[in-house]
Amino acid sequence: MRDEVRDNLAERLKRKETLFPGIIGYDDTVIPQLVNAILARHHFILLGLRGQAKTRILRALTTLLDEWIPVIPESEINDDPIAPLSAFGQQRVKAEGDQMPIRWLPRETRYVEKLATPDVTIADMIGDIDPIKAARGGLQLGSELAMHFGLLPRANRGIFAINELPDLAGKIQVGLFNILQEGDVQIKGYPVRLPLDVLIAFTANPEDYTARGKIITPLKDRIGAEIRTHYMQSRADAQSITAQEAWVSRSGAQIEVPRFVREVVEEIAFQARNERKIDKRSGVSQRMPISVLETAISNAERRAFANGESLVVPRITDVYAALPSMTGKFELEYEGELKGADQVARDLVRAAVSNVFEGYFGDVDAKQVIEWFDLGGSLSLSDTTDAATLLKESAPVQGLVDLARRAGVERDAPAPALAAAIDFLLEGLYSQKKISRNDVRGYHGAEPVRRPQQQQTRGSILTQDDDEDEQTPRKKKYYN
């Protein structure tokens, strides 16, 4: 098996083909280490936090298998017709000889995956005596034909993957010693060792070693290579993954996602991974930006359907509406728990908008727009405001529309696209505290008018140093 995978990998390398399609951002880090492990004929383990494509990499290994292999029909462990391992296969070859039919096994069925859980037994993994099989066949319990084969023997001549290895009980991990070192397994009660032909791969979250279990030292010693995965190191790679995985193209709607919205969605995950209020040991999965983008598009769809718009263009406002897609995807530290997941998520969006906004408008003078708000102007918008109304309400703000076009909007762009750019500009100015926003006055000048102390409510008044945001994304936002 390991020679087969090695030879097919070598051919791909010679032809300069893509080794693992769909795996993005690992070309210079994880993939070279994985290639080295396969060329060395090693069993290996992928170590990494959640959402780092560990399982996808394992499943992609099937592309390195031969397209078809011959097996003995009805064999539970994919016996080779030339060299059968099981008693069943040996008896059938002896009885039928050259007249025995051949079954051809496709590469997709030669991959066996098991999620490690504390209730997994040796019988599940390796095998055991099967008294029912013995009774039905009129066999003695000591007969090899009465064996029940576990998942590992059934993966013979294929790839066997175990996800979340630390969750596997220690005594079950001991049962893997022989297959990793001597290349065979022994099923309880039988003096027979099966020299299985299998490539074994594991995944694990390094933080799970102490949180839920651990990989016992003798097993780690027998694993040939330990490969560390990581989160994307560039926003471009993260955007490519989200574009590949997110459900964007939807029936019944024409959807156009602005580039700055995609960048903000990705930047949220980058901000979260560096946020001290979020537990870095649990990580922030790439699934978060995927879910956020899908939810933001759904909120934009809701607005377009309600207002009869044919083009669906998500805005930064719709990203705030996707807070439920964020709060369940990170674990909070004590400081974060005190502030609350919802407010932490809002702060992440605000920081992400500020970072992306700087890339678009960092060298642009927005003084004219800011002064309009400082002189008492205000703007009331919500996530249900249609594009035409948003453009009409924004028209009195001097320079706002022309400045918003700097976000990559063409002169002849449809109204929803221009509306999204205006929303981005306003959110960017708010995120950098150049204008303010709250539920009562919405977007307004950076020096808000304070109410008497007894009338102040949480989230209703903002100052330049106030991080509070509106409590629900569907409430109107007033820029002033």
User: pTM for this one?
Assistant: 0.84
Q: Which amino acid is at 285?
A: S
121: which residues sit within 8 A by CB, 6+ positions away?
Answer: 172
| pLDDT confidence band for 144 (50 / 70 / 90) | confident
Same domain, residue pair 239 and 345 = yes
Q: Which residue has the higher pLDDT, 455 or 183?
A: 183
30 with 60: CB under 8 angstroms?
A: no
Domain end, chosen from 211, 228, 245, is at 228
92 with 72: CB under 8 angstroms?
A: yes
Same domain, residue pair 321 and 203 = no
Q: What's the pLDDT at 466?
A: 42
Residue that the structure tokens 């099937």 belong to? 62
Same domain, residue pair 363 and 469 = yes
Hey, what are 479's tokens? 């820029």
- Strand order through the sheet with 198-204: 111-115, 158-163, 198-204, 44-47, 225-228
Report the range of poorest mean pLDDT among 207-211, 329-333, 351-355.
207-211
Average pLDDT over residues 296-324: 95
Same domain, residue pair 329 and 377 = yes
Domain end, chosen from 228, 248, 281, is at 228
Q: What is the DSSP string of 110-142?
A: GEEEEE--TT--HHHHTEEE-HHHHHHHT--TT
Q: Which residue has the higher pLDDT, 462 or 469?
A: 469
Same domain, residue pair 442 and 298 = yes
Q: State how many domains the chain has.
A: 2
Q: What is the DSSP string of 372-429?
A: HHHTT--EEE-TT--HHHHHHHHTTSTTHHHHHGGGT--TT--HHHHHHHHHHHHHHH
Domain range spanning residue 131?
Answer: 2-228
Same domain, residue pair 194 and 61 = yes
Task: Give the whole-number percent of the chain exceeding pLDDT 70.
Answer: 89
Q: What's the pLDDT at 208?
A: 55
Task: Give the whole-number percent of the chain exceeding pLDDT 90.
Answer: 66
Same domain, residue pair 201 and 140 = yes
Same domain, residue pair 262 and 401 = yes
391 with 414: CB under 8 angstroms?
A: no
76 with 194: CB under 8 angstroms?
A: no
| pLDDT confidence band for 198 (50 / 70 / 90) | very high
Q: Check pLDDT > 60 for residue 452.
A: no
229 with 253: CB under 8 angstroms?
A: no
Tell me the C-alpha distance between 348 and 344, whole Å.
6
Q: What's the pLDDT at 148?
A: 83
Q: What's the pLDDT at 468?
A: 45
Q: Work out the burial of residue 447: count CB atoms within 10 Å of its CB; fewer than 13 is exposed, 13-18 middle, 19 or more buried.
A: exposed
Same domain, residue pair 356 and 271 = yes
Tell me the C-alpha distance between 320 and 476, whole Å.
13
Beta strand 44-47 with 442-444 is unpaired
Report the range of poorest mean pLDDT among 89-98, 204-213, 394-403, 471-480.
471-480
Q: Which amino acid is at 313?
A: V
> 231-287 pLDDT, tens per residue?
999 999 999 999 999 999 988 889 999 999 999 999 999 999 999 999 988 889 999
Same domain, residue pair 176 and 256 = no
199 with 112: CB under 8 angstroms?
A: no
Same domain, residue pair 174 and 209 = yes
Tell me the C-alpha distance between 100 and 79, whole Å.
13
What is residue 20's three-state secondary structure? coil
Same domain, residue pair 221 and 265 = no
Q: Which residue has the higher pLDDT, 144 or 221?
A: 221
Domain end, chosen from 198, 228, 258, is at 228
